Amino acid sequence: MDFSNFGTKDMGIDIGSSKLRVTFEDKGIVLEEPTLIVVNKKTGQIIATGMKAQNIMEQNPITLKAVHPMQNGQIIDIDYAEIFMRDMIKKVYKEFNTGRPRIFANVATDINEVQQKALENALYQMGAKEIFLIDAPIAAAVGCGLRADKPIGNMIIDIGAGKTEAAVVSMGEVVVSDTTDVAGNAIDEDIIQYLKDNLSLSINKETAEELKIELGGAESLIEEKVLEVTGRNVETGLPYTIPVSSKDIEKATKKAMQEITNTILSVISNTPPELVSDIMQNGIYITGGGAHTNTIDNFIAQKTGVKTYIAENPEHCIARGIDKIINNTGDYSRMMEARRRRKLL
């Protein structure tokens, strides 16, 4: 397959459950907005998308509802997904003379034929001239600065909003991978539920995410940390402020962390010995927004016995990787060709 573009402009898209990021040629990330649509509950009219939609929902309007067209790394509502992505790409078209670009987009390794077709349809509706799909672990590895095209084993743990994917990549291909729907959103929900059940404190998702980042939960801290948290008293409905400790967050997230650990260990146990040796030497890299969970690198290192690193700006790794691939297609053609062959099997 020839990946030369002959003047056609290239666009990269990282489609996540919580954010959509667009890269364009040599300009890096040119757009980053929430994967969100606001709809009128009564009429079904679309009011806003992306950042505008998020700003509206922060006001808690009773006549509107939030729609998330992506969940667990997959399109769950093709109509809303197409509307959302068209709206986002219009912003890029307005700023850059893109014409009909070739679009390079990431996909989870466990995507099925129906989900892949839905994604391709949505991308063509956006005006794509041609579509190339890249396995998310490959993009993440490249975005970390790893040589995923070389004959060495690299392990990536991508903890997004809706999906955690653990994978070993080598020679431009995903050798072993496993996924779980336990990821950032699920961890936030566990924190919300735990505080409600055990401390009679009702908080929103933003507060839960702040606690996850500040207090952690992946492992016990040597020195316990405590934050004063304000929410609503479950019993009285009144404003309520109480101390929440790192121990509370550790208890709240214990089940989720165990599920993520099981996914990682499953991949390692199925990895060829020679690549395990590489991983022991080179370490594990964590990408995605979930990498910001306090102490998660130490937690994974303890559970696996492998030194573990958090990538720089981990939530941008996949987008950076796609951007690097489309600007160096000759170097990474094997990766895209391998995915094409797998699709044809």
- All structural domains of the chain: 10-143+316-344 (3.30.420.40), 154-182+255-315 (3.30.420.40), 184-253 (3.90.640.10)
Tokens at 82, concatenated:
């197409």
Report the pLDDT value the prediction gives residue 146, as an integer from 0 to 100: 93
- Mean pLDDT estimate for the chain: 89
pLDDT digits (tens, 9 = 90+) for 155-205: 999 999 989 999 999 998 999 999 999 999 999 999 999 999 999 999 999
pLDDT grade for 61, boundaries at 50, 70 and 90: confident
pLDDT grade for 337, boundaries at 50, 70 and 90: low
Nearest Cα neighbor of 175 from 138, 134, 133 is: 138
Side-chain half-sphere exposure of 174, counting CA atoms within 13 A: 27
pLDDT, mean of residues 325-338: 75
Tokens at 34, concatenated:
């929430």
pTM to 2 decimal places: 0.89
pLDDT digits (tens, 9 = 90+) for 23-48: 987 789 999 999 999 999 999 999 99
pLDDT, mean of residues 125-139: 89
Report the pLDDT value the prediction gives residue 89, as an integer from 0 to 100: 83
What percent of the chain has pLDDT above 90? 64
Q: Extract long-range pairs of 328-335: CB within 8 Å, 24+ residues apart.
A: 329/3, 329/4, 329/5, 330/3, 331/149, 332/142, 332/149, 332/172, 333/1, 333/3, 334/149, 334/171, 334/172, 334/173, 335/134, 335/135, 335/138, 335/148, 335/149, 335/172, 335/173
Q: Which residues of 33-65 are buried (b: 16+ CB within 10 A; e: fewer)?
A: bbbbbbbeeeeeebbbbbeebbebbeeeeeebe
Question: What is the phi/psi pair of residue 131, to 5°?
Answer: -125, 135
What percent of the chain has pLDDT above 70? 91
Report the pLDDT value the prediction gives residue 274, as an integer from 0 to 100: 95
313: Cα separation from own chain's centroid = 12
C-alpha torsion angle, residues 219, 310, 139, 284 (rounded to 10): -70
**Residue type for 343, please?**
K
Contact 149, 245 (CB under 8 A): no
Asked if residue 6 has pLDDT above 60, the reply is: no
Round to whole Å and give the CA distance between 161 and 176.
22
C-alpha torsion angle, residues 326, 330, 335, 337 (rounded to 10): 110
pLDDT, mean of residues 90-118: 84
CB atoms within 10 A of CB 338: 16
Report the pLDDT value the prediction gives residue 110, as an integer from 0 to 100: 86
Round to whole Å and give the CA distance between 236 and 141.
49
